[in-house]
Structure 1
Amino acid sequence: MSIEAAGTNHSPVVGAVVVETPRLVLRRFTPEDAAFLLGLLNEPSFIANIGDRGLRTIEDARRFIVEVPMASYDKHGHGHFRVELKETGAVIGTCGLIRRDYIGETDVGFAYLPAHWGKGYAYEAAVAVMEFGRTTLGLQRIVAVVSPHNTASIRVLEKLGLRYSGPTQLAADAETVHLYV
């Protein structure tokens, strides 16, 4: 597994490779990824397990990419990255590190198109992203938040070595989620 230093200077490098694993390449999102992200964030499974981001158009998705992952790359040196298959270049999901200011933590998160579930991609990418966070960014602690009913993601988090710590909220008016540390 190779880890690139993209993001260590906190300046956005458009489409830069951040991490490679034996089967995957993780890159920074760019506005050109809007169609993919629009599809992923409107998957019924994404809405049920993570939430409805309210993106309905390509322009909504482009704006989201600029305001959320690209802004996070600039501010923190990390964010969500697009996950593509090394063999074909097909974009299959997202995995990354998110600074959750409300809880004062950085968490690992992921989402994949249903056709790519059950193949170990979520675990493979999350291991690489957490290693990137620890070694390249110097993060001492990486947590995860997950909907209590999202059993597949909970299994991945436990395989990563994270353990249930208790309920938490990501904002004052948000639903309760489970914190894994």
Structure 2
Amino acid sequence: MTILETERTIVRHATHDDAPFILQLLNEPGWIRFIGDRNIHDLDAARSYIDEKLLASYLKNGFGLYIAQDRETGTPVGLCGFVKRETLDDPDIGYAITEAFQGKGYAFEINNALINHAREALGFKRIFGFTLPENTVSVYLLTKLGLTYERDQDVNNSGEICKVFVKVA
């Protein structure tokens, strides 16, 4: 199901056909470093991740993380969308662009459209974003998207303190 389209991308629900992409993305060095190892090491684990994390969120919350694909080629460029966590009062925007498409403006283009979608279609009043302090690219992106630094917090109850940003939608 298509959620939205941008100039260069289509943002849609994930399916089991995306398992090879999920396997690749979740094992890229940037994902491991800044998001964490999810122990997704084969296609069966990738399909389980799609079921348990992505599809389950669509059903439970009416939103989740989506596949963003290049409009012309159909090649997946990233995983972007919203997550509802117990540690935050409102959903947060999450994103990961595959290494092959980083540095080309996809993260801003997709997430800017997603923020508009959250306000207009989902009725979000606030959106959080968070990142590890050393992920300076994400700090820059969140700021460019109009989110403002609010506090430091262990968002995932993992012992890692993140910079938490917020935007009134």
TM-score (norm 2): 0.94
* Superposed displacement of residue 109, structure 1: 1.0
* Superposed displacement of residue 120, structure 1: 0.7
2: CA distance between counterparts of 1:104 and 1:71?
Answer: 20
1: CA distance between counterparts of 2:53 and 2:3?
Answer: 17
Q: Secondary structure at the match of 2:133?
A: coil
Q: Secondary structure at the match of 2:91?
A: strand
Does 1:52 find its partner at 2:44?
no
Q: What is the aligned partner in structure 2 of residue 33 from structure 1?
A: 18
* Superposed displacement of residue 171, structure 1: 3.4
Alpha-carbon RMSD across the aligned residues, in angstroms, is 1.0
Q: Residue type of the partner of 1:164? A: Y
Please point out which of 81, 87, 107 is paired with 2:92: 107
Could you tell me which runs of 5 or more consecutive residues in structure 1 were left unpaired when the two chains were aligned. 1-15
Q: Secondary structure at the match of 1:108?
A: strand
* Superposed displacement of residue 128, structure 1: 1.0
Please point out which of 157, 170, 173 is paired with 2:142: 157
Q: Secondary structure at the match of 1:22?
A: coil
Aligned length: 166
Superposed counterparts of 1:165-176, under 5 Å: 165-176=150-161
Identity rate, percent: 39
2: CA distance between counterparts of 1:64 and 1:79?
Answer: 13
2: CA distance between counterparts of 1:87 and 1:24?
Answer: 8
TM-score (norm 1): 0.88
Give every structure 1 segment of 4 or more consecutive aligned residues whose post-TM-superposition deviation is greater than 6 Å: none
Q: Residue type of the partner of 1:23? A: R
Q: What is the aligned partner in structure 1 of residue 132 from structure 2?
A: 147
Does 1:79 find its partner at 2:78?
no
Could you tell me which runs of 5 or more consecutive residues in structure 2 were left unpaired when the two chains were aligned. none
* Superposed displacement of residue 54, structure 1: 1.2
